[in-house]
Chains A and B, each alone.
Chain A
Amino acid sequence: MPLKNLYIKPRMKNELQQLESSALKALKEVKTLDELKDLEVKFLGRKGELTGILRGLKDLSPAEKPEMGALSNTVKKKLEAAFASKQQKLENDSLEQQLSGQFFDTTIPGKSRPIGHIHPLSQIQEEVERIFSQMGFSIADGPEIESEYYNFEGLNIPADHPARDMQDTFFIEGKDHKDHGRMVLRTHTSPVQVRSMEKYGAPLRLIVPGRVFRNEATDASHDHTFDQVEGILIDENISIAHLKGVMKEFLTRLFGKEVNVRFRPGYFPFVEPGLELDFSCLICEGKGCRVCKKTGWVEFMGSGMIHENVLKAGGVDHKKYQGWAFGFGLTRLVMMRYGIDDIRHLTNGDLRFNHQF
């Protein structure tokens, strides 16, 4: 083996190390992709410095070749990785720069998909149904055209009761029945009380949302057609305290904040004791404002313990079972909820109103 070969290996090792450090140093200074390309050619290209050094491999002894070969490969891989990473960085930088220079108007209105609207009355009705369902109430239905029997007599409203006056009730022409009397547009959802007792018996736990009719002139707060929700709970030992609990819970869930309720004596022929229920004004939280006429309470519904004559009419054993019923205005609830000042908006079909919900 020629003597000069003895120096080749250490020199080559040295050269590779120097190449590595000077290439990495130069890489740090690179600012553009073009510079990077040039540098890559200079160090790693076909005629580049690394290739130059590697030419010396052939002069090494067969024993030295694998060692230097491995070393040079390591240096090459390291530099290639450094170049690749630099290239990635420069490309990212350049993309970021390009993107951030772009003008884009985010204030142009969003492209709207044609979405329709569900009537507010339907929306609140669903909420009411959901809450009562969660409290174990079924949702029932009844006819809107009713017999006088179910609308009145069955509910302990005899023929000479003021509520029977023609001016409050719509009658249907030419419909008479020897047991059921004339045919009326139901004036309340209460006929479902007797109907559901007959159908399901006791115990009974249900609500009935639905359309009712009153023969009265229309103005901003009265319409001849509106919606009510009837509720009934019949079982053994059902009390007024339960009614208080259920209504407090219902209103609290509906309004999403703590609501209090209070009872006042009220008179309805189909309940005894009869009760009016008020809830604490949500606007002033009971301090008194215009909405609650400075009382802190908002009148909400009529209710009471179901009259024994009504239980009897429904075929329920009034000695064993007792319970309560209530009826509130769904339409009024919608108006309160959204601050709607004219009831006629709800039925005149003007979509400029419906589109707000």
Chain B
Amino acid sequence: MLISLDWLKDFVDLPANTDPQELGTLLTLKTAEVEKVESESAQFDNMVAGLVLSISKHPDADKLQVAKVSIGKETSQIVCGGANLKEGMYVAVTKPGSFVRWHGEGDLIELKTTKVRGVESEGMIAASCELGIDNPEEGEEDIMDLSAIKPEPGTPLAEIFQKNDTIFEFDNKSLTHRPDLWGHHGIAREVAALTGGKFKKLEPKVKIPTKGESPKVEIKDFKLCPRYCGLIINNITVEESPDWLKKRLKATGHGTHSNIVDITNYVMHELGQPLHAFDKSYIEGGIIVRTATDKEKITTLDNKKRELSSEMLVIADHKKPVAIAGVMGGENSEINEKTTSIIIESANFHASNIRKTATKLGLRTDAVQRFEKSLDPLLAELALLRAAELILKVCPNAEIAGPITDVKKFSEKTLEISFDTEKAASKIGAKISSAEMKKFLESLEFEVSGTGKTLKVKVPSFRATKDVAIEDDLVEEVARMYGYDNLAPELPPLPINLPRENTERFKKHRARELFSYGLGFDEIKGYSFYSKTDLENCLMTEEAHLKVLNFLSEDQTHMRTHMTPSILKALQVNVKNFPELRIYEVGRTYLEIGEFMPLEEKIIAGAVMIKGESDEPFYEVKGAVEAFLSKFKIKTKFSQGTEALPYAHPTKSASFLAKNGDSIAKIAMLHPTVQKNHDLKGHSIAFFEINFTEALKLENPDYKFTALPKFPSILLDISVLVDENIEITKIANAIKQANTNLIKNVELFDIYQGEGIPEGKKAVAFKIETQAPDRTLTDPEMNEIKNKIFKNLEALGGKIRGA
């Protein structure tokens, strides 16, 4: 919203030396955010009126002339190409340092003293368009002619064009809760309170006849329209608005139309009350405020045909709708140059109904913007009087036909709040006396009675519609008037019983450190949703999925039930830039479980992808999951295969299970079809999914130190030839079973197939660590263990190749 300083001054006395920038900051800190304070005159800096003293031909250019121009005490030499340039002409001189738009086009350019074809020119003589001023009469090659005004040379152009206003640009969002601030009058009241300047309340001086013709108004629904004031004015002349009116509307960013329409807009910008003017001759049989019939149609002032629905409020006559209430007027009763008699509407409408109508129609207007904030019903009458006053001023022949019609049903009871000043001070965190608080509230037109701890505060009607309703609303008034800047930062006392850490959160960070800094994986963040195609590409069904009703795009329709689809997307993004990828994500999945609240699980998922065909990634993810489980001291049981994971390879997959059989982590090679669906052929991909929440439940916090061995261990290497289909675990177990007490560790270090190994066989080599807690093992003992191992391996059909 744009607010003119000049206009504000109509309603508040400001000291002459008020710095607009400082006033802007004050409003920002105490009322609402002022985004910009712009002086209208700034764009005319270094621009003055000049008088052309003499002209001579440019020695080196046919179309250029060299002018001597008086710009006050000095005379400038300026090269000019203006076709209408002549001696004795008053012109607009833009001096070096000014900013102009070259031939009215492109960006603003700073002027400097420069040589034009060898002749020095101190600035230039400007055309209207170069100053951003419309002048249709000026020829294309012409310069601006100020001879009609004959200004004293050196007079600033800002003064000549009356560009002396300053505009405050408010952030509309910061005014959401302040319906009283949507016009100059309300802002002025606030400025008066902030600065101590006197507030000059608007009191329209207009005589309303006690007899005569008044509009007939009927309100069908007082909830949607608590008040409707109407007035008939006859004998008006519709024409262009006078300059003062146009200037102010332009300053607030508003276009101008005709005097009547401009006045309704003027009053809206002044008081924040939207008005509407109907051409009375088109109103058949009086005004009815009613809800629309379903599919009722109206063409609005913007020439668009709109279809209404039954919850929308319309202003109608006895035959047709003539306006969408509080939103926009209808074309059928629009003011035109032939209009002589008008009905002015100043009404109050239900805020959220207006907002819903506007949203449904996609029609945001200045009126909607104000009505949706909950306007003060008392404002309607004041605004109507002000409009009448201005119409009589602009159209001296106009006549008010009769009394105001005022149909209303709303509570005019003043809201009174009991205010605990001690509580208020404790909430604000400053020692503010009751008397001071009273002063702050009174400056904002609250009526305060009582002294000491408890005050009785009456809320003025313009603040009572929505903004101020409870005691804390008054705390805010006091706090901002006191000034948030005056509050000293204070640290709250630290409780002795500090909260226990959220261990899950804390451990999530530790898990990240393990995966990233320990295991070399990169963390990514994926979206929480994916598409139907995504889940189908992973061979999943829509089962257990929550669907987004109003999704933004087709690829974000389903809440993810698994993390791997997000991981696969990240692989796709990076496959062209990296030969190998190790990535993971710590995130949530969302499962429909037949209750209202879905099940959200915290999952760590990741993948390893390398080029070429290999099972290596499987063992990498297996190693990563094992590292995680070991780091967090989580005991699980390893199990072949995974349950219900459609994108997993059917045999190259495994799970880590809790004691009760619940799956804590899953690992697998990606199903070849899924890999193909993701265009990741030529790579080998394995993934893992750890249910982080469930895993942490198995954590063993009582993990204890184990004493270091006192006697040395003896290592034994054994290589054995076995059937290729025998699992490594089976062989390792056979070794371990040879002596479960003395064999501490069995470590696979080679699997070999190929030259020298018969078809269908594999050579497997283990490093075996033996150790006794109370002695060094002797040769005979070692031989016994070895022989037992050989026997066990041979029982598996193995042939010892070496030891």
Closest to A125 in B: B509
Contact with A along B506-519 (1 / 0, CB 8 A): 10010011011101
Residues of B within 8 A of A235 (CB): 492
Q: Of the 9-residue stretches B108-116, B387-395, B427-435, which lies at the interface with chain A?
A: B427-435
Contact residues in B for A161 (Cβ distance below 8 Å): 352
A32 partner residues in chain B, CB cutoff 8 A: none
Which residues on the A side are within 8 Å of B33 (C-beta)?
A: 264, 276
A126, A147, A262: the one contacting B509 at CB < 8 Å is A126
Q: Enumerate A215-265 residues with CB–CB distance to B below 8 Å.
A: 215-218, 224-225, 233, 235, 237-242, 244-246, 248-249, 261-265
What's the Cα separation between A137 and B501 when bound, in Å? Answer: 9
Chain B residues closer than 8 Å to A307, beta-carbon distance: 472
B428 touches A170 (CB 8 A): no
Q: Kindly state the separation between the CA atoms of A346 and B502 in the bound complex, as whole angstroms.
A: 25
* A145–B546 CB distance below 8 A: yes
The verdict on B549 contacting chain A, using a C-beta distance below 8 Å, is: yes
* Contact between chains at A116 and B517 (CB < 8 Å): yes
Enumerate B394-446 residues with CB–CB distance to A below 8 Å: 423, 426-430
Q: Determine, out of A69-77, A88-96, A171-179, the stretch whose residues face the partner at the interface.
A: A171-179
Return the contact of A217 from the options B472, B502, B552 (Cβ within 8 A).
B552
Q: Which of A12-20, A39-47, A48-56, A266-274 contacts B (4 or more CB under 8 A)?
A: A266-274
Select the residue from B430, B525, B574 with max chain A CB neighbours within 10 A. Answer: B525
Which of A143, A172, A267 contacts B176 (CB under 8 A)? A267
Task: Report yes or no: A185 in contact with B548, Cβ–Cβ below 8 A.
Answer: yes
Chain B residue nearest to A265 (CB atoms) is B480
Interchain CA distance A162-B519 in the complex, whole Å? 48
The segment from A3-11, A21-29, A60-68, A128-136 found at the interface with B is A128-136
- A192-221 contacts to B, CB under 8 A, are 203, 205-206, 211, 213, 215-218
Q: Which of B259-267, B576-584, B678-686 contacts A (4 or more CB under 8 A)?
A: B576-584
Contact with B along A146-171 (1 / 0, CB 8 A): 01000000000000111001100111
Q: Are B484 and A275 in contact (CB under 8 A)?
A: yes
Contacts of B427 in A (CB 8 A): 239-240, 305, 322
Complex contact B516–A261 (CB within 8 A)? no
Query: Contact at B174–A349, with CB atoms within 8 Å?
Result: no
Expressed in whole angstroms, the minimum distance between the Cβ of B703 and any Cβ of chain A is: 24
Cα A242 to Cα B429 with chains together (Å): 7
* Chain B residues with CB below 8 A from A245, complex form: 489-492
User: Residue A347 at the B interface, CB < 8 A?
Assistant: yes
Report A132 CB to chain B, min CB distance, Å. Answer: 10
Q: Are A116 and B470 in contact (CB under 8 A)?
A: no
A352 CB-CB contact with B under 8 Å: yes
Decide if B480 touches A242 in the complex (CB within 8 Å). Answer: no
Q: Which residues of B contact A265 (CB under 8 A)?
A: 30-32, 174, 476, 480, 484
A280 to chain B, nearest CB (A): 13
**B597 located at the interface, meaning its Cβ lies under 8 Å from any Cβ of chain A in the complex:** yes
* A241 touching B549, Cβ below 8 Å: no
**For A165, what are the chain B residues with a Cβ–Cβ distance below 8 Å?**
359
A145-B600, A351-B583 known; A115+B524 contact, CB < 8 A: no
B523 touches A122 (CB 8 A): yes
A87 within 8 A of B: no
Q: How far is the CB of B423 from chain A (nearest CB, A)?
A: 8
**A308 in contact with B546 given A114-B520, A117-B522, A244-B490 (CB within 8 Å):** no
Candidates B473, B523, B600; contact of A117 at CB < 8 Å: B523
Identify A322's interface contact among B356, B426, B498, CB under 8 A: B426
A172 to B509, CA, bound (A): 30
User: Cβ of B547 < 8 Å from any Cβ of A?
Assistant: yes
Considering only CB atoms, which chain A residue lies closest to B483 in the complex? Answer: A263
Complex Cα–Cα for A274 and B31 (A): 11
Q: Is A287 an interface residue (CB 8 A)?
A: no
Within the complex, the shortest CB–CB distance from B754 to chain A, in Å, comes to 29
Contact with A along B553-586 (1 / 0, CB 8 A): 0001001000000000110011001100111001
Q: How distant is A218 from chain B, measured CB to nearest CB, in Å?
A: 8
Q: Is the CB of A267 within 8 A of B177?
A: yes
Interface residues of B in 448-491 (CB under 8 A from A): 470, 472-473, 475-476, 479-480, 484-485, 487-491
Q: How far is the CB of B503 from chain A (nearest CB, A)?
A: 10
Residues of B near A86 (CB, < 8 A) are: none
Contact call B598/A145, Cβ cutoff below 8 A: yes
How many angstroms from the CA of A267 to the CA of B177 in the assembled complex?
Answer: 7
The bracket for how many chain A residues form the interface is: 35 or more
B356–A160 CB distance below 8 A? yes
Q: Which of B430, B547, B550, B569 contacts A241 (CB 8 A)?
A: B430
Q: Is A82 an interface residue (CB 8 A)?
A: no
Q: Are A273 and B480 neighbours in the complex by a CB distance under 8 Å?
A: yes
Complex contact B549–A171 (CB within 8 A): yes
Query: Is A317 an interface position by the 8 A CB rule?
Result: no
**A349: contacting residue among B30, B473, B570, CB under 8 A:** B570
Is A102 in contact with chain B by the CB < 8 A criterion?
A: no
Once the chains are docked, how many angstroms separate the CA of A240 from the CA of B476? Answer: 11
Q: Name the distance in Å between B484's Cβ and chain A's nearest Cβ.
A: 4
Contacts of A185 in B (CB 8 A): 528, 548
**How far is A275 from B372 in the complex, measured between Cα atoms in Å?**
22
Q: Across the two chains, which residue of chain A brings its CB closest to B592?
A: A175
B470 CB contact (under 8 Å) in A173, A183, A308: A308
B525 pairs with A119, CB closer than 8 A: yes
Interface residues of B in 7-51 (CB under 8 A from A): 28-33
Residue of B nearest to A142 (CB): B600
- Whole-angstrom distance between the alpha carbons of A192 and B176 in the complex? 25
**Contact for A274 among B476, B485, B590, CB less than 8 A:** B476
B551 within 8 A of A: yes
Residue of A nearest to B486 (CB): A241
Query: Are B429 and A160 interface neighbours, CB within 8 A?
Result: no
Q: Are B492 and A233 in contact (CB under 8 A)?
A: yes
Contact across chains for A272 and B598 when beta carbons are under 8 A apart: no
Shortest distance from the beta carbon of B22 to any chain A beta carbon, whole Å: 13
List chain A residues, Cβ under 8 A from B520. 113-116
Contact B491 A351 (CB under 8 A): no
B527 on the interface (CB 8 Å rule)?
Answer: yes
Whether A175 touches B577, Cβ cut-off 8 Å, given contacts A239-B429, A241-B489, is: no
Chain B residues within an 8 Å CB radius of A139 = 501-502, 505-506
Name the CB-closest residue of B to A350: B573
A136 to chain B, nearest CB (A): 5
Q: Which residues of chain A are within 8 angstroms of B551 by Cβ–Cβ distance?
A: 170
Q: Residues of A contacting B29 with CB < 8 Å?
A: 262-264
Complex: chain A residue closest to B524, CB-CB: A349
Contacts of B30 in A (CB 8 A): 265
Beta-carbon nearest neighbor of B471 in chain A: A308
Q: Which residues of A contact B513 (CB under 8 A)?
A: 118
Docked-complex contact A172 and B546, CB < 8 angstroms? yes
Q: How far is the CA of A116 from the CA of B487 in the complex (A)?
A: 46
Judging by beta carbons under 8 Å apart, are B528 and A115 in contact?
A: no
Are A262 and B484 also in contact (CB < 8 A) when A240-B429, A267-B174, A305-B475 are? Answer: yes
- Pair A136/B549 contact, Cβ less than 8 Å: no
B495 within 8 A of A: yes
Q: Give the CA-CA distance A322 to B513 in the complex, in Å.
A: 39
CB distance from A61 to the nearest CB of B (A): 61
Contacts of B578 in A (CB 8 A): 351
Q: Are B590 and A119 in contact (CB under 8 A)?
A: no
15 more A-B residue pairs beyond the given contacts A139-B502, A349-B524, with a C-beta to C-beta distance below 8 A: A116-B517, A116-B523, A126-B509, A129-B509, A144-B588, A170-B548, A175-B546, A211-B528, A215-B552, A237-B426, A240-B427, A241-B487, A242-B490, A249-B489, A264-B33
17 inter-chain pairs at a CB distance below 8 angstroms, sorted by A residue, are A114-B520, A138-B502, A139-B506, A147-B597, A162-B355, A170-B550, A171-B548, A173-B548, A175-B546, A224-B556, A233-B492, A237-B426, A245-B491, A245-B492, A322-B423, A352-B577, A354-B524
A interface residues, Cβ below 8 angstroms from B: 113-119, 121-122, 126, 129, 133, 135-141, 143-145, 147, 160-162, 165-166, 169-175, 177, 180, 183, 185, 203, 205-206, 211, 213, 215-218, 224-225, 233, 235, 237-242, 244-246, 248-249, 261-267, 272-276, 305, 307-308, 322, 346-352, 354-355
